[in-house]
Amino acid sequence: MSVPEPRVLRLCAAADVAPGAARRFVVDGVGICLVRCADGFHAVADTCSHEDYSLAEGEVDAERAEIECWKHGSLFSLVTGESLTLPATRPVAVYEVAVDNDDVSVVLP
Ligand code: FES
C-alpha cells in the first residue's frame, strides 16, 4: 500500500502578505490562515476551533506568533496551534510553510 505524498501548494507571493497581516486561502477545499510574523510565515487551519469563524480576520501579534479570534477573543499559537485562552479549548491544525524565493506555499499532508 502506498503512502500519499504531501502536497506543496503555492498560496501567494511573499509580498502579498504584509508583516503582521493574516490572509485566508482555500486550497484543495482546505481553509488556510497564512500569517506573516516576525519569525516568518505560519499557516494554521482558518476555522476557529470554537465556532465556524475565520481566524484570518483576527488580530495578529507578530512578535509572539499568535492570532486572536475576532469573534470571541480566543488566542491561538501560530507555532503549535494550541488555544491559549477560552472559550476555545481545542487546537487548530498547523501546516508547514515552504518559502522558495518569492513563492509562499503550504504543505498539506
Ligand atoms: S469563534 Fe473563535 S473564539 Fe469563538
| Residue 94: alpha-carbon gap to chain centroid | 7
Q: Is the CB of 74 under 6 A from ligand 1?
A: yes
Q: Is the CB of 24 under 6 A from ligand 1?
A: no
The answer to the question of residue 83 being in a domain is yes
The answer to the question of residue 1 being in a domain is no
What residues make up the domain containing 46?
7-108
The answer to the question of residue 2 being in a domain is no
The answer to the question of residue 98 being in a domain is yes
The answer to the question of residue 23 being in a domain is yes
Contact 94, 79 (CB under 8 A): yes
**Protein residue with its CA nearest to atom 4 in ligand 1:** 72
Report which residue type is found at 56: A
The rounded Å distance from CA 31 to ligand 1 centre is 16
CATH of the domain at 76: 2.102.10.10
Distance separating alpha carbons of residues 68 and 55, to the nearest angstrom: 7
Number of domains making up the chain: 1
The answer to the question of residue 16 being in a domain is yes
What are the pLDDT tens digits along the chain (109 aa)?
678 888 999 999 999 999 999 999 999 999 999 999 999 999 999 999 999 999 999 999 999 999 999 999 999 999 999 999 999 999 999 999 999 999 999 999 8
